[in-house]
Amino acid sequence: MKTGLVLLVFVTNVLMASGAMAQTLLLKNARLVTMSEMGIVDAGSMLVKDGVIEEVSTRIEVSADIAVIDLKNQFVTPGLIDSASQLGLIDVNNFASKTDNQVKGLALGAGFSPVMAINRYSSMISMVRNEGITRAHIKPVPGSSIFAGQGAMIHLVDKGQFVTDKFQAVHVYLRESDKTLAGGSRAAALAEVIDSLQEANRYRQNPADFRKAKGREFRQSEADLISLASVLDRGVPLVVHVDRAADIENMLSALGSFELKIYLAGAREAWKVKALLADLRIPVIINVLDNLPSRFDRLGARLDNAALLVEAGVTVAFMTDDLTRNTRNLTQGAGVAVAYGLSWQEAMKAITVSPASLWGLENTGRLVPGFAADLVVWDGDPLEVTSSPVRMMIGGSWIELRGRQELLRDRYSDLHDGKVPFGYR
């Protein structure tokens, strides 16, 4: 009896410590953006149990002991997914001691993983999360090599598994500004990619060779070779950061025989080769807002890149791609894509369903039974710049929407009454 009580207390504590995971909760009277064939369900109800969506319908009856929240027909969307970010690697950019997004001077390229540098407790995390973002693909940027390293998936939970997939992709950069890392010519950069893949292929076929030769006959480190072997196995995609239409064509032509899974990122001129991309089923990850012809390989940058690609049948996902300044503006980019011809539904897909599919996230990105209860309640249309999350649930737990910025705001919201110094407010 006594043991039973202790056990009960113990179990209760564990459950409380893990938030509302074990709760069953009914969200009713919500405008559910299900991202499924149900579309938007007005005055909808959703039953959440143990962090999983159990039922979605216009009417759900529950017993009196189940907690019910009336959302007054506010929008509810799945948690949003940023398809390329450096969140957690940078607290403040513009000074190197605070950044962990690249390696320089080491013989490490495709094998570099930034995962062990991710700071899940950075106040940046809650700042970005408060914009409705619950997951992000974290990418390294090139340091000494055009191969920047491995991308990872983070889940912006307070507790539990933060890095949910340590190795999701290899990032290679073939933009105009990257070619100096490969001898100064685009052709040399592409040759380096081919050579690296061929070497990885040799390694893959007989890893013992590498050990016998103590790596002497190999240009790359074993970490790089292992990483690229996964690309060759189609275990992870090769994410190619490239902008110019001709560079996209040449890269696809040069790498065709490897039969890799290729994603494009950046891809400011992708719209020019949209038919080719649709034919080869190559998805494109874009930062909608960046439409400047800021380099010669971006002269074709335009705000309707997404609309043109989707119209041609290309899968599109959105990224913020910024160090810190615009990391929070995922929805603004999606909204602008709508202003420039993309449908609202397709814009929502590019920050929910499509990234979930591209990054292999199971049961994520829709509000349907069996999917994870990562959800955002908004005070307006989620893609509007005037809208903001009012509640967010991640992994079944409501999270705190007050972060460092809100504390600053509250400290200085009233400048009168100088009796108490601001440091005590």
* Adjacent-strand bridge partners of 393: 375, 398
- Applying CB under 8 A, the span of 10-18, 77-85, 154-162, 327-335 interacting with other proteins comes to 327-335
Question: x-or-dash pattern for other proteins, window 285-304, by CB under 8 A?
Answer: ----xxxxxxxx-xxx----
Query: In the Cβ-directed half-sphere of 308, how many Cα atoms lie within 13 Å?
Result: 19
Nearer to other proteins, 55 or 379 (CB): 379
| Sole binder of other proteins in the list 153, 383, 392, 393 (CB under 8 A) | 383
DSSP state of 178: G
244: exposed, middle or buried (C-beta count within 10 Å: 0-12, 13-18, 19+)? buried
Considering the complex, what minimum distance in angstroms separates the CB of residue 254 from other proteins? Answer: 17
Question: Is residue 159 near other proteins by the rule CB under 8 A?
Answer: no
Of 113, 324, 352, 397, which one interacts with other proteins (CB under 8 A)? 324
H or E element that contains 392: strand 389-394
Phi, psi of 76 (to 5 degrees): -125, 125
To the nearest 10 degrees (0 to 180), the angle between helices 186-205 and 245-255 is 30
Question: Contacts with other proteins in 238-277 (CB under 8 A)?
Answer: 245, 249, 271-274
Stretch that binds other proteins, among 165-173, 219-227, 325-333, 367-375 (CB under 8 A): 325-333
- Least distance in angstroms from the C-beta of 320 to other proteins: 12
Per the CB < 8 A criterion, the answer to whether 174 and 187 are in contact is no
Q: Which stretch binds other proteins (CB under 8 A): 26-34, 144-152, 225-233, 318-326?
A: 318-326
Tokens of 161: 């598994």
Q: Is 141 in the site for other proteins (CB under 8 A)?
A: no
Put residue 212 in one of left, alpha, beta given phi > 0 → left and psi -120 to 50 → alpha.
alpha
Between CA 142 and CA 132 the distance in angstroms is 28
Give how many residues touch other proteins by CB under 8 A.
50
Contact residues: other proteins, CB under 8 A: 91-95, 124, 127, 245, 249, 271-274, 289-296, 298-300, 323-325, 328-329, 332, 335-336, 338-339, 379, 383-388, 405-406, 408-409, 412-413, 415-416, 422
